[in-house]
Amino acid sequence: MATTTAQFTLTSTDIADNSLSISNTMTLTTAGTATGITETTGLARKKIASATLADLITIASTDVTAAKSAKVYIKNTSTATDKWGLVGVGDSSGTPIYIGRLYGGDWMLIPWDANSGEDITMTMNDATATIIEYMVFFE
């Protein structure tokens, strides 16, 4: 087994009267066990130059097993804070469930059930070529 950790910190000295400091580290394990996840897509980059709904990550391309403990990391590498990509879960030929907007410089990490028809989609707010980085950890 492999040992992969994801450390998170959220900090602010002025969002409230008292400082905010949240830290959390998880070890990426297979579903229901303490055994480390051993499969990954590696860090991938995809250029998106269209404002139409498209698949960013498909179940078919990753061979992820459904309803386990897969995790997906995505980053919008743009430096433009007014450019965003709307991330969804679903079929790009239909209407995905929209999660949220990744603005330039934003990243996200979500668990992914990857049931049939639940690809990860992306819709950019304009056709400016934007590099999106992603990495899937799965079993």
12 token code pair: 């602010």
Fill in the per-residue mask, 82 to 101: x = in contact with another protein (CB under 8 A), - = not in contact.
x-x-xx-xx------xxxxx
- Please pick, from the candidates 54, 113, 128, 139, the single residue that binds another protein as defined by CB under 8 A: 113
Distance between CA atoms of 119 and 116, rounded to whole angstroms? 8
Residue in this structure with the two tokens 């051993």, named with its chain if needed? 38
Q: Tell me if 16 contacts another protein by CB under 8 A.
A: yes
Give min distance, CB of 106 to another protein, in A.
5
Neighbours of 35 (CB within 10 A): 13
Burial class (CB in 10 A: 0-12, 13-18, 19+), 23: exposed
Pairing status of strand 84-90 against strand 97-103 = antiparallel
Nearer to another protein by Cβ, of 43 and 127: the residue is 43
Dist. CA 10–CA 80, nearest whole Å: 22
- Minimum distance between the CB of residue 128 and another protein, rounded to whole angstroms? 14
User: How far apart are CB 123 and another protein at their closest, in Å?
Assistant: 11
- Site for another protein, rule CB under 8 A: 2-16, 20, 22, 24, 26-27, 29, 31-34, 36-38, 40, 42-43, 67-71, 73, 75, 81-82, 84, 86-87, 89-90, 97-103, 105-113, 118, 135
